Amino acid sequence: MAAITPTQYAQMGRTARDFESMFVTRMLESATAGLKTKGSFFGGNGEAQFRSMLNEQYGKEIAKHGGIGIADAVLRQMISMQEALP
């Protein structure tokens, strides 16, 4: 059974949070894809151009502050796979 060092554990945690961040970002992009803001006070071309960056930042912040539970599940799976190695 391969032991996991603290450094490896920290790296796996970051990787799991990055995965959750990416997943949440894609969910937000799907949720906001149909928004029509043209003609509204805050809408227009500028809003459409920066929406993907805003969704990405939301995804990062959501994952950083506890997320929706995906990072925990991914980390548990990574640990079990690492421990199964000879």
Q: Specify if 34 maps to a domain.
A: no
66 φ/ψ angles, rounded to the nearest 5 degrees? 110, -25
Alpha carbon 35 to its chain's center:
22
Q: Specify if 35 maps to a domain.
A: no
Q: Specify if 31 maps to a domain.
A: no
Q: How many domains does the chain have?
A: 1
- Tell me: pLDDT of 60 over 70: yes
Q: Specify if 1 maps to a domain.
A: no
Q: Specify if 19 maps to a domain.
A: yes
Q: Specify if 30 maps to a domain.
A: no
- Residues 11-55: pLDDT tens digits? 999 999 999 999 999 999 999 887 776 666 666 667 777 888 999
Cα separation, 78 vs 16, in Å, equals 9
- The burial class, CB within 10 Å (0-12 / 13-18 / 19+), for 59 is buried
> Domain limits at 64?
6-25+41-84
Q: Specify if 50 maps to a domain.
A: yes
- Is the pTM higher than 0.85? The answer reads no
